Amino acid sequence: MLTTGAAKTLISQNAVDDIDLRVESGDHIVTYYGIGGKEHAYTKQVDSIHIGSLQLKDYKLDFSGMDYEGIDGLLGLDVLLDAGFIIDLKKLEMYR
């Protein structure tokens, strides 16, 4: 889910269980406050993330136990700004 209300991108732990990405001692723990209350997450640097043809290498992402049915993560302003995305609300389009 794309959200301009989230400063950081947040990925559900359930979405990465199959690649065995887990919290480890030494991982940075962060706390989020939002409409759903308080949420804890851990930060990891991943080799790369892909959005369509875009690839961001050596990128830090936050992972949490968020459990919103059908939503595996929130694409936040960090990725949107770093990738140079433009959101056209009139056309409901996003492009670079």
Strand partners, 40: 31
Taking the C-alpha atoms of residue 88 and residue 92, their distance in angstroms, rounded to an integer, is 6
Q: What is the mean pLDDT of each run of 10 residues along the chain (96 residues)?
A: 90 88 89 84 93 93 87 93 95 93
Domain 10-95: assigned CATH number: 2.40.70.10
Q: Which of 4, 1, 3, 87 is nearest to 96 (CA)?
A: 87
Q: What is the pTM of this model?
A: 0.83
**Domain locations along the chain:** 10-95
Separation CA 49–CA 59 (nearest Å): 7
